[in-house]
Structure 1
Amino acid sequence: MILLVEVFYAGSHRQLITTLTQGLQLDERSCHLTTMSGRKWHWRARTSALHLAEVIPRQQFSVLFTSSVTPLAELCGLRPDLAAPHKVLYFHENQLVYPVRKRTDTDFQYGYNQITACLVADEVVFNSGYNMESFLGNINHFMKTQPDYRPKGLADKIRSKCRVLYFPLCLPGVALGARLGESAEDRPLHILWPHRWEHDKNPALFFETMTQLHEEGLPFRLSVLGERCDEAPPEFERAQRELKDHIENWGYLESKEDYWKVLRSADVVVSTADHEFFGVAVLEAVASGCTPLCPSALVYPEWFEARHLFRTAGQLLRRLRQWCRRPGAASASGRGSVVAVVSVM
């Protein structure tokens, strides 16, 4: 019996669990799934072990699979029977390099929990090489926050358990089909921004760039997708008002069919993220035919050639300005853009 645990059951975390259960054809006879709602991840990372210890059934499991939001060491302490299964810990992100707006927002406990979870896990799996190396490479620096009695050699102890397993993308046949709409030369450039509405995706840079293109009188269409969080950055409301003449789609699409349709109609997918360990939405857009334009940092050099990366806000603006003037050039640039092999199920 396999035990699947996800304490932040939303977004890519939920998508992974769904893909595993469907792809491996797991049912209630071979698998037990325990989840908590995908809200307030800070509290899930702090306190979920208490709830899990109460609700996970006391039966024999051969494998325990969970994400790094789960305080696994604490859970095994509360439920010693859960230390026996083969424990697999999956990292969608890591807290050692998670960007915060203010230093006072940093909570040592999040990163500490992930380190101790790795120490009790039997296998530690990361969704990208960048995620793995940024975590292992920052353990010593992170632990220097501890004033004394600092442990040594943690990264070496953990590295031997680690490997990269790219996040499995579920691409429907429609995603790989013919592009929708007119020829790129016959219409304005369609720009897509498909990320969560949070500060770590740097929407300020994206909307500043869009506003500049608008003020220069350049033609373009705009689709801003992604899930809206409880406190969306103020840039979104202002951009919706100032860029209303360009907006094609605005906000989260409940229908997956509508979502794939937008991806197939867009020309360019842009990321301005300060925080990206995999980039599901960007890779889905690229698989649908979009040309990527992403920061030359984070996970993106793992996926794309240098011609699809930018280092400065000026480079981002210049590239989009060129493509607004010659939309066909964007489509031509996108051919063969992905250089990494990504799992597809």
Structure 2
Amino acid sequence: MSHSWFAFYGGSHKQLMDLLKENIAGCSVFTLPAKKWHWRARTAALYFSQTIPACPSYRLLFSSSVLSLCELAALRPDLARLKKVLYFHENQLLYPVRRHQDRDFQYGYNQVLSCLVADVVVFNSRFNMDSFLSSIPSFMNKIPDHRPKDLDRLIRPKCVVLNFPLQFPDVSREHDKNPELFFSTLLRLKERGLDFHLSVLGETFTDVPEIFSSSRLLLDSHILNWGFLPSKEDYLRVLCEADVVVSTANHEFFGVAMLEAVHCGCFPLCPKALVYPEIFPAQYLYSTPEQLCKRLQGLCRKPDVARRHIVKVDTSAYSWAALKPRFQDLLSAPCP
């Protein structure tokens, strides 16, 4: 029996956990709801140490990097003896903060310690892995004295890249996402009298930037859909009706939504940064806000360019069907 849980059960974390639960036999899943993220990172290990029952048939522990695996292993020696797989959906060493002094050292420190305890460390993209490992030395230099050394060299041999698996449908065709750039670009298109329609989709969390409400009023005549669509079918329908999908993210370690949109026939425009060059050819990348605006301006004037274009991204390579054997191998291999 394999043994899996995520400390943060929501969004893409939930999507992955549900997928593994449905397709990998013998999983015991323990989760916490997707709210109060910082408290999950701080305290989930203690909670799970008290709530996960002892079971002699457990042979593998699959954990999100949100959880402090180091603390859990110390509190539960029976779990520490299992093969421990740590999955990085994102890493705290590179997670954007508004000010440098706002970064809480403990979150990244816990992830480094968890890597040292884990047997296998899995990243959803090469960008995620490389950015984490290369940031460890400078991150540890924040310690005033008696700093540990060579941690990246200890962790690197354990690391593998295993893309986030998506279940694509059969179709015919957060401050960290930089909404300011997205909406300012659309307002420039509106000022130039260009014709376009807009769908802004996604979950609504507690702290919504003010620019969302102000932009909704200014762009009202262009809006087709706004906010969270509870039905996956409705969400996919909107994607299939769209021509272009835009990312203005300044933080992205994989980009599930962009690949889903491309699978549904959207022409992608992404920053030439983060994980995007790893997935998207150069023709879909922009380097500056002005480049993004020019590309969208051109597509507004000639929408058939996007509608007739076949995106040069093989989305099937990121599908669960393609990645399932690697996940099965990861979760079924004997303890080293």
Q: Aligned partner of 1:235: which letter?
A: I
| Deviations 1:188-239, CA, capped at 9 Å, x for gaps | xxxxxxxxxx111000000000111111110000000011110111111011
Match of 2:120 in 1: 123
Q: Aligned partner of 1:40: which letter?
A: K
CA distance in 2: counterparts of 1:225 and 1:3, whole angstroms: 34
| Deviations 1:59-98, CA, capped at 9 Å, x for gaps | 1210000110000001111111110111000000000111
Find the partner of 1:299 among 271, 275, 279. 275
| Deviations 1:9-55, CA, capped at 9 Å, x for gaps | 0000000011111122x3xxx22111101011111111111101110
Match of 1:114 in 2: 111
List aligned pairs for 1:179-194, cutoff 5 A.
179=173
CA distance in 2: counterparts of 1:159 and 1:207, whole angstroms: 39
Match of 2:245 in 1: 269
Provide closer, same or farther for how the CA distance between residues 20 and 141 of structure 1 changes in structure 2, counting only shifts above 3 A: same
Match of 1:161 in 2: 158
Q: Secondary structure at the match of 1:170?
A: coil
Q: Which has the higher helix share?
A: 2
List aligned pairs for 1:19-30, cutoff 5 A.
19-24=19-24, 26=25, 30=26
Match of 2:32 in 1: 36
The answer (yes or no) to whether the contact 2:97–2:103 under 8 Å persists in 1 is: yes
List aligned pairs for 1:1-150, cutoff 5 A.
1-24=1-24, 26=25, 30-60=26-56, 61-150=58-147
CA distance in 2: counterparts of 1:327 and 1:337, whole angstroms: 20
Runs of 5+ in structure 1 lacking a partner? 180-197
Structure 2 length normalisation: TM-score? 0.93
CA distance in 2: counterparts of 1:23 and 1:303, whole angstroms: 25
| Deviations 1:133-169, CA, capped at 9 Å, x for gaps | 0001110010000111111111111110000000000
CA distance in 2: counterparts of 1:338 and 1:309, whole angstroms: 16
The answer (yes or no) to whether the contact 2:163–2:318 under 8 Å persists in 1 is: yes
Find the partner of 2:184 among 167, 183, 208. 208
The answer (yes or no) to whether the contact 1:166–1:343 under 8 Å persists in 2 is: no
Match of 2:255 in 1: 279
Q: Aligned partner of 1:246: which letter?
A: H
Runs of 5+ in structure 2 lacking a partner? 322-336
Q: Secondary structure at the match of 2:320?
A: coil
**Identical amino acids, percent of aligned pairs:** 55
The answer (yes or no) to whether the contact 1:305–1:338 under 8 Å persists in 2 is: no
Backbone CA RMSD of aligned residues = 1.3
CA distance in 2: counterparts of 1:126 and 1:62, whole angstroms: 21
List aligned pairs for 1:308-319, cutoff 5 A.
308-319=284-295
Q: Secondary structure at the match of 1:272?
A: coil
The answer (yes or no) to whether the contact 2:272–2:287 under 8 Å persists in 1 is: yes
Query: Offset at 1:2?
Result: 1.5
Match of 2:331 in 1: none
CA distance in 1: counterparts of 2:288 and 2:227, whole angstroms: 27
Query: Offset at 1:334?
Result: 4.6
Q: Aligned partner of 2:126: which letter?
A: G
Structure 1 length normalisation: TM-score? 0.90
CA distance in 1: counterparts of 2:283 and 2:49, whole angstroms: 49
The answer (yes or no) to whether the contact 1:270–1:293 under 8 Å persists in 2 is: yes
Find the partner of 2:225 among 230, 249, 253. 249
CA distance in 2: counterparts of 1:39 and 1:335, whole angstroms: 36
Query: Offset at 1:338?
Result: 4.8
| Equivalences, count | 320
CA distance in 2: counterparts of 1:143 and 1:307, whole angstroms: 38
Q: Aligned partner of 1:5: which letter?
A: W
CA distance in 2: counterparts of 1:48 and 1:340, whole angstroms: 35
CA distance in 2: counterparts of 1:108 and 1:208, whole angstroms: 33
The answer (yes or no) to whether the contact 1:303–1:338 under 8 Å persists in 2 is: no
